[in-house]
Amino acid sequence: MSDLLDNAIYSIQLGIEDYQSNDDRRPISALRNFYAGVLLLGKECLLNAAPDAEPMEILASKFVPALDGDGNLVMTPKGQTTIDLNELRERFGTFQLKWPDGNIKDLQRLRNEFEHFHSKAPKETIRQAIAACFPLVEGFFAILQKSPKAALGSAWDVMLAERAFFKKQKADCDATLQVLPWWDSVEDSSVFSCTECSSSLLFQTDASNSEPTFMTGGCKACGSDFTAEETVEMIVTSVFAVDEFQRVKDGGEQTIYDCPECANPTYVEAGIYVGCYFCQYVIEGECARCSADLTINTQSVNNPSLCDYCDHVTSRDD
Ligand SMILES: [Zn+2]
Ligand SMILES: [Zn+2]
Ligand SMILES: [Zn+2]
């Protein structure tokens, strides 16, 4: 067994131990250890795929191209910095390894935040991180052709149990939101993020209510209550705002707008859904003058029956 694999297993086990402890300082330590362990496990998959190479030739973050004495191009690792999670994922691609399913964004976000981590529900947040990383840990062990149970021992049993518990909680929360008119446009509710604790366990108190404006929302992890506006905005932001900055920078379309009707930042124009998640206002129909389809981008704010261009042209005629 390699040193790296030993360290990976030890870090994951330590993280789970920290998680189970009732010491207040341990949640941060749990996240740090668990994150480090998962990352090391992924790195071990790369080493395992090229057993004859030097570890730094595989794991270095930066390389310098140089010519050797015979004029051949060689890539030499620069510095001691090894790849981070994003680079690990890229390198899985260039090593033709399949990246396992599973959402590591949760863990990564928590990892980035944890120096100032003051979640209202640290234990619940870490449980979610463990549940989210479960498929990744399982997938890495499959690539290594090792049994996670044999390697991790009781830490694996804890991960199994926490994942099952989290899945049940999440399913119960999602079930309360399923009667809402836009539920089907939420492709992946695991991205929900409570503004107080970043848990995805958002729910509404009345599971029979199908009217977004009447919602009373809550978070199962930290116990916070939210108004209808807050709940809808949280859901819209977590589902559609992810990557919005990058998408728009890359020339893509913005998806979230202030609603012309209720003024909440909950008007969505995405392939899968058009309309306000809060008041359900939808811009539809054609411009009365040029017959172009009206959208949030083209509808005139001065005259909702005209497009911007026609409103501009006709108001100039006046
Ligand atoms: Zn919360
Ligand atoms: Zn609205
Ligand atoms: Zn027009």
Q: Lowest-pLDDT range, 47-51, 179-183, 295-299?
A: 295-299
Distance 226 CA to ligand 1 centre (A): 10
Q: Give the pLDDT confidence score for residue 231 in this predicted structure.
A: 98
Q: To the nearest whole number, what is the mean pLDDT of the chain? A: 89
Alpha-carbon gap, residue 139 to 98, rounded angstroms: 9
Please, are residues 38 and 99 in contact by the beta-carbon 8 Å criterion? no
How large is the average pLDDT for residues 132-152?
94
Q: Give the pLDDT confidence score for residue 250 in this predicted structure.
A: 79
Distance 110 CA to ligand 3 centre (A): 47
Distance 277 CA to ligand 3 centre (A): 26
Which SS3 state, helix, strand or coil, does residue 286 take?
strand
Instruction: Quote the pTM value.
Output: 0.80
Which of residues 35 and 230 earns the better pLDDT score? 230
**Residue 93: count of CB within 10 angstroms of its CB:** 10
Q: Give the pLDDT confidence score for residue 117 in this predicted structure.
A: 58
pLDDT for residue 176 is more than 90: yes
Please, are residues 64 and 78 in contact by the beta-carbon 8 Å criterion? yes
Please, are residues 109 and 2 in contact by the beta-carbon 8 Å criterion? no
Confidence band (pLDDT; 50, 70, 90) for 210?
Answer: very high
pLDDT for residue 124 is more than 90: no
Please, are residues 269 and 259 in contact by the beta-carbon 8 Å criterion? no
Distance 26 CA to ligand 1 centre (A): 19
* Nearest alpha carbon to residue 199 among 267, 256, 131: 131
Residues having C-beta closer than 5 Å to ion ligand 1: 194, 196-197, 199, 219, 221-222
For residue 293, the 8-state DSSP code is B
pLDDT for residue 113 is more than 70: no
Percent of the chain past pLDDT 90, that is, above it, reads 64
Confidence band (pLDDT; 50, 70, 90) for 15?
Answer: very high
* Nearest alpha carbon to residue 255 among 187, 193, 173, 196: 187
CA angle 240/135/94 to nearest 5° reads 80
Q: Give the pLDDT confidence score for residue 114 in this predicted structure.
A: 62
How large is the average pLDDT for residues 140-169?
95
Distance 259 CA to ligand 2 centre (A): 5
Distance 299 CA to ligand 2 centre (A): 15
Alpha-carbon gap, residue 45 to 56, rounded angstroms: 14
pLDDT for residue 1 is more than 80: no
Ligand nearest to the CA of 268: 2
Which tens digit of pLDDT belongs to each residue from 57-99? 999 999 999 999 999 999 999 988 999 888 999 999 999 999 9
The maximal CA–CA distance of the chain, rounded, in angstroms, is 82
Which SS3 state, helix, strand or coil, does residue 266 take?
coil
Which tens digit of pLDDT belongs to each residue from 251-260? 777 899 999 9
Ligand nearest to the CA of 314: 3
Domain spans in the chain, listed from the N-terminal domain onward: 3-173, 178-256
Distance 217 CA to ligand 1 centre (A): 11
Ligand nearest to the CA of 296: 2
How large is the average pLDDT for residues 5-14?
96
- Cα 189 to Cα 11, 138, 183, distances in angstroms: 29, 22, 9
pLDDT for residue 23 is more than 90: no
Distance 298 CA to ligand 3 centre (A): 8
Alpha-carbon gap, residue 144 to 57, rounded angstroms: 20
Residues having C-beta closer than 5 Å to ion ligand 3: 287, 289-290, 292, 307, 310
Q: Which residues contact 54 (CB under 8 A, 6 or more apart)?
A: none
Ligand nearest to the CA of 306: 3
pLDDT for residue 271 is more than 90: no
Number of residues written out for the chain: 318
Would you state the structure tokens that stand for residue 184, as one six-digit string? 């089907």
Distance 189 CA to ligand 1 centre (A): 15
pLDDT for residue 112 is more than 80: no
* Nearest alpha carbon to residue 110 among 176, 50, 27, 181: 27
